[in-house]
């Protein structure tokens, strides 16, 4: 089974965090770690992941800090591919802009605008 990232599950679990996350998100990631430490959770927030082929796709990410029975910490993350949602949002916005433009009342001819 191939994931949205283009990696198989076995390949994915061997990746480092920065293999998937573009470096321009580093400041945001540092804030996430503070939130995780202080609140025990982070997100939700949106960012991008890097696919195996180098292209990017949008995700929604949230998670929480938990512990194994032996006390070791573990971070549980929920990662949602929001490519389709973004595509639909773009279509909706284009439709609204078109309808808004079409529904504007006609302007009177310049000779009648006095």
Q: In the predicted model, what is the mean pLDDT of the chain? A: 88
| Cα 49-20-9 angle, rounded to 5 deg | 100
Question: CATH number of the domain at 9-104, please?
Answer: 3.30.450.20
pLDDT band with cut points at 50, 70 and 90 for residue 35: very high
Domain edges within the chain: 9-104
- Is residue 1 scored above 80 in pLDDT? no
Distances (CA, A) of 76 to 40, 65, 68, 96, 103: 11, 6, 11, 38, 48
Report percent pLDDT > 90 for the chain: 64
Is pTM beyond 0.75? Reply is: no
Residues 63-104: pLDDT tens digits? Answer: 999 999 999 999 999 999 999 888 888 888 888 887 776 777
């Amino acid at each position: 089974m191939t994931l949205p990232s283009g990696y198989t599950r076995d390949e994915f679990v061997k990746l480092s965090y920065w293999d998937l996350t573009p470096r321009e998100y580093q400041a945001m990631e540092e804030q996430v770690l503070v939130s995780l430490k202080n609140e025990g959770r982070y997100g939700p927030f949106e960012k991008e992941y890097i696919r195996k082929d180098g292209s990017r796709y949008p995700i929604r990410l949230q998670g929480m800090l938990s512990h194994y029975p032996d006390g070791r910490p573990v971070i549980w993350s929920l990662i949602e591919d929001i490519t389709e949602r973004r595509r639909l949002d773009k279509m909706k916005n284009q439709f609204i802009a078109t309808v808004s433009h079409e529904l504007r009342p006609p302007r009177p001819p310049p000779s009648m605008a006095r």
